Amino acid sequence: MSHLLQDLPPGSLDYYRKQASFDWKRMKVFIDTEDGIKFQNNLYKKLQMHPEFLGNPLLQTLDEKRNKATQQALAYASIVKSLTNSEITTIKREDIILRTILQFNPSAAFKYPGIKRLFTSALQNQGTQRHHKFIQLAESGKIYGCFCMTEIGHGSDTKNLRTTVVYDKEKGEFVVNTPDFPAAKCWAGGLAELATHAIVYAQLYINRIHWGLHGFVVPIRNPETLLPYEGVILGDMGEKIGVNGADNGFLIFDKYRFPRENILNRFADVTPEGNYVTSATDLKNVRGAVLGALSIARVTVTAKSEFYGTKALTIAVRYAAVRKQFGPKDEEVSILEYQSMQYRLLPYLAAAYIIRFFSMYLDEVTQEFVKESKERNDPALARRGMEIHVISAGAKPVSGWTFRDAIQECREACGGYGYLKASRIGDIKNDQDSINTYEGENHVLIQQVSNWLLKVCSNVQNGNKISTHLKSADFLSNASKILKNKFNATSVVEVCKVENIIDTYQWLVCYLLRETKRKFDALKQSEGSFWARSNTQIFYCKNLSTAFVQHLFLQRMITVINRSPDANIRNVLLKLFSLYGLYNIEKFLPSLFGGGYVEKPEATNLVHEAVLTLCRDLKNDAVALIDAIAPPDFLLNSILGKSDGRVYQRLQIALIRSSSEASRLKWSSETVGKIVNPRNKL
């Protein structure tokens, strides 16, 4: 393996590296595969030689940030093309491609491959042969597409979107119109400055008959000049909290015309004569198929949160290993030795591993689904699409919130230096923050999981066995048996066991599902189903969905652990498994007591002791665990988290650089004299 991976530079991190219970290079090969690492090495080499990727300066204006992101996205597309040579790339390589550019500059990742994937996958899954030309043009870079669903007045509530498309039989064209400002399409990435084509979702009308929401591909800018066409009013969402290199825009149509062929007609079409045609059999399967296919983007976002989180954790774990403060007597110790620091960082490190493995798996099964669903269209596939939709709708918020908190903890763990812009944790935090809103608002998304589980539950209650393609909910068939289980561990070792953790989660999901159903059914009588759903969200639906998703994460982790031939790796991954499980189970203790799964008060102490024991056990592996997943130094681009551990030296250089003129006010001519007496001012 030594030919694939270089040793990391010696320095202050050596102490912990020597303590590690496993070989970080073997771990990295286990995670990324030999092919993946070779690909990564080539990619890194090209990036480091390319002028667009020399350093990553702190840009200040919106223009600079957008320009940089675009140039980097273009350069990156070329680099990737030169490496893949049009051969079909593997999912592992795709993961590396997205991870690398996102960890370097998230805004560039939005521009490539982010938006492109959203645009072409909509065409592929909802369009037909006649839209292939758009895919080809987008692939070859002749046009640039964006995705317009959300409007100013309506986001998640897509049924109430108000953009209209009317069919004009005389001219054989569609006319798209924005009735007022709240109906303007907004937020689409690429729309403000770059996009030449938009996938637009609008209410279709033919002869004044309303046919509901449909997708269209609409040319909006001239690809040669990038000027908008007449009838298309384009605007800019302006500065955001983060990802400011991405140009999110808004779009107003003034009775703008486009060809009839541009309706995405896989499931329904309009004939030249103005007839609406669809197959009823197909229609029944549409929702699952479309939702399954649209999941692709959300699966990517689940992974993205982990990319951000891993970057922040790299900085914080290495800083905590290098930074020394208070110790016993006059000795100083690394702050990573403090129990509180271990508890603040290590559960998130466990989450980074577990969610990484899960995202890769979810990407795989989703891509398989998309491929198959291009070829056929049946109820089994629709159900499979729905399951994928539900899992991705749950995984994205759970991952998003986990790493939102992880990054904040990393910021605080690095103290004041974490608050320096040059640590980059602020940027990571502000960029990741967007994830909890876009590609499906988190609270809206996570409801999809409980909605689906409630349906599944009715099936179980009717005596049916659950058997889904991904087996995500099959255990619910045994709900009545599972609900009889009790927490019976009596030692920390027992509490940490895989079976115990899985049992606890299965009981929790079954219990929360039963209770949610019970409460929902009761409220439905008095309040109707809308309010019944709203009034079961907190402590019921949301906890249910969260527990369900975490259980899936853990199940996947077991499969992954069993695949490793290296006992040391299996051993440390098992500890990560238990830490992630118990850290989260601890937060569910009120329900575990409340539902009677836990009966003895001592359980609280046992779970607490187990979490702290695992933290302590993993502390010496933390640096090596980071080494196996850390972005290389040139991607990290932080003064704190480099692999050589030279924190203070870099800090000194950074501070001296930022001080070149600081010993005197740059704007002093207007201030000297005033500071001497503020009364001068008034």
Catalytic residue numbers, as ranges? 439
Judged by CB under 8 A, which of 11, 141, 172, 632 binds a second copy? 141
In the complex, least distance from residue 133 CB atom to a second copy, rounded to whole angstroms: 16
Classified as helix, coil or strand, 485 is coil
Q: Which is nearer to a second copy, 208 or 681 (CB)?
A: 681
Classified as helix, coil or strand, 299 is helix
In angstroms, rounded to a whole number, what is the distance separating the alpha carbons of residues 208 and 213?
Answer: 14
Helix (H) / strand (E) element for 427: namely helix 425-433
Site string for a second copy, 68-107 (x = CB under 8 A): --xx--xx-xxx-xx-------------------------
In angstroms, rounded to a whole number, what is the distance separating the alpha carbons of residues 157 and 149?
Answer: 10
Residues in the chain, total: 682
In angstroms, rounded to a whole number, what is the distance separating the alpha carbons of residues 450 and 456?
Answer: 10
Give the DSSP letter string of 505-563.
Answer: HHHHHHHHHHHHHHHHHHHHHHHHHHHHHHTTIIIIIHHHHHHHHHHHHHHHHHHHHHH
Contact criterion met (CB below 8 Å) for 340 and 350: no
In the complex, least distance from residue 675 CB atom to a second copy, rounded to whole angstroms: 6
Judged by CB under 8 A, which of 69, 289, 492, 603 binds a second copy? 603
Give the DSSP letter string of 461-497.
Answer: HTTPPP--TT-SSGGGGGHHHHTT------SHHHHHS
In angstroms, rounded to a whole number, what is the distance separating the alpha carbons of residues 190 and 199?
Answer: 12
Collect all residues with Cβ–Cβ distance below 8 Å to 678 and sequence separation of at least 6.
none
Site string for a second copy, 14-43 (x = CB under 8 A): ------------------------------
Judged by CB under 8 A, which of 2, 3, 7, 60 binds a second copy? 60
Contact criterion met (CB below 8 Å) for 630 and 357: no
* Strand pairing report for 197-206 and 145-148: parallel
Identify any residues that bridge with 252 across adjacent strands, giving them in sequence order: 233
Closest CA to 254 of 235, 234, 231: 231
Q: Which is nearer to a second copy, 56 or 535 (CB)?
A: 535
Q: Which is nearer to a second copy, 81 or 374 (CB)?
A: 81
For the stretch 584-596, what's the b/e string if a residue is b when 16 or more beta carbons lie within 10 angstroms of its beta carbon? bbeebbebbbebe
Judged by CB under 8 A, which of 197, 266, 429, 556 binds a second copy? 429
Judged by CB under 8 A, which of 18, 130, 132, 142 binds a second copy? 142
In angstroms, rounded to a whole number, what is the distance separating the alpha carbons of residues 231 and 600?
Answer: 70
Judged by CB under 8 A, which of 185, 266, 404, 575 binds a second copy? 404
Cα angle 615, 565, 13; round to 5 = 40
Q: Which is nearer to a second copy, 146 or 573 (CB)?
A: 146
Classified as helix, coil or strand, 199 is strand
Between residue 212 and residue 241, which ones bind a second copy under the rule CB under 8 A? Answer: 223-228, 233-241
Q: Which is nearer to a second copy, 79 or 317 (CB)?
A: 79
Does 189 show up as a binding residue in the annotation?
yes
Judged by CB under 8 A, which of 28, 214, 411, 619 binds a second copy? 411
Check binding of 272 to a second copy (CB under 8 A). Answer: no
* Strand pairing report for 197-206 and 276-278: unpaired
Q: Which is nearer to a second copy, 6 or 82 (CB)?
A: 82
Between residue 313 and residue 352, which ones bind a second copy under the rule CB under 8 A? Answer: 325-329, 332, 337-340, 343
Q: Which is nearer to a second copy, 560 or 639 (CB)?
A: 639
In the complex, least distance from residue 593 CB atom to a second copy, rounded to whole angstroms: 4
Q: Which is nearer to a second copy, 208 or 679 (CB)?
A: 679
Options 13-21, 494-502, 593-601, 620-628: segment touching a second copy (CB under 8 A): 593-601
Q: Which is nearer to a second copy, 60 or 467 (CB)?
A: 60
Check binding of 120 to a second copy (CB under 8 A). Answer: no
In the complex, least distance from residue 446 CB atom to a second copy, rounded to whole angstroms: 9
Q: Taking each helix axis from N to C terminus, what angle separates 91-104 and 339-375, rounded to the nearest 10 degrees?
A: 130
In the complex, least distance from residue 159 CB atom to a second copy, rounded to whole angstroms: 8
Q: Is 228 exposed, middle or buried (0-12, 13-18, 19+ CB in 10 A)?
A: middle
Does 596 show up as a binding residue in the annotation?
no
Closest CA to 538 of 443, 445, 458: 443
Q: Which is nearer to a second copy, 464 or 671 (CB)?
A: 671
Judged by CB under 8 A, which of 209, 283, 493, 672 binds a second copy? 672
Between residue 158 and residue 187, which ones bind a second copy under the rule CB under 8 A? Answer: 160, 181-182, 186-187
Count residues binding a second copy (CB under 8 A): 143
Judged by CB under 8 A, which of 33, 56, 90, 156 binds a second copy? 156
Contact criterion met (CB below 8 Å) for 320 and 417: no
Check binding of 12 to a second copy (CB under 8 A). Answer: no
**Number of C-beta neighbours around residue 48 at 10 A:** 12
Tokens of 256: 């703008």
Check binding of 254 to a second copy (CB under 8 A). Answer: no
Options 166-174, 385-393, 497-505, 582-590: segment touching a second copy (CB under 8 A): 582-590
In angstroms, rounded to a whole number, what is the distance separating the alpha carbons of residues 200 and 217?
Answer: 6
Options 4-12, 388-396, 570-578, 659-667: segment touching a second copy (CB under 8 A): 659-667
Contact criterion met (CB below 8 Å) for 117 and 95: no
Q: Which is nearer to a second copy, 187 or 253 (CB)?
A: 187
Is the torsion defined by CA of 446, 394, 469, 555 positive or negative?
negative
In angstroms, rounded to a whole number, what is the distance separating the alpha carbons of residues 395 and 304?
Answer: 12
Tokens of 514: 């039963």
Between residue 432 and residue 461, which ones bind a second copy under the rule CB under 8 A? Answer: 433-434, 436-438, 441-443
**Number of C-beta neighbours around residue 359 at 10 A:** 26
In the complex, least distance from residue 371 CB atom to a second copy, rounded to whole angstroms: 26
In the complex, least distance from residue 540 CB atom to a second copy, rounded to whole angstroms: 9
In the complex, least distance from residue 255 CB atom to a second copy, rounded to whole angstroms: 18
Site string for a second copy, 274-303 (x = CB under 8 A): ------------------------------
Tokens of 461: 């209650």
In the complex, least distance from residue 535 CB atom to a second copy, rounded to whole angstroms: 5
Judged by CB under 8 A, which of 208, 210, 484, 664 binds a second copy? 664
In the complex, least distance from residue 239 CB atom to a second copy, rounded to whole angstroms: 4
Options 244-252, 294-302, 303-311, 545-553: segment touching a second copy (CB under 8 A): 244-252
Amino acid at 183: A
Between residue 522 and residue 581, which ones bind a second copy under the rule CB under 8 A? Answer: 528, 530-531, 534-539, 542
Check binding of 589 to a second copy (CB under 8 A). Answer: yes
Cα angle 262, 266, 267; round to 5 = 115
Judged by CB under 8 A, which of 9, 179, 379, 594 binds a second copy? 594
In angstroms, rounded to a whole number, what is the distance separating the alpha carbons of residues 613 and 391?
Answer: 32
In the complex, least distance from residue 202 CB atom to a second copy, rounded to whole angstroms: 19
Between residue 623 and residue 642, which ones bind a second copy under the rule CB under 8 A? Answer: none
Helix (H) / strand (E) element for 62: namely helix 62-84
Annotated binding site for FAD: 150, 189
Annotated binding site: 150, 189
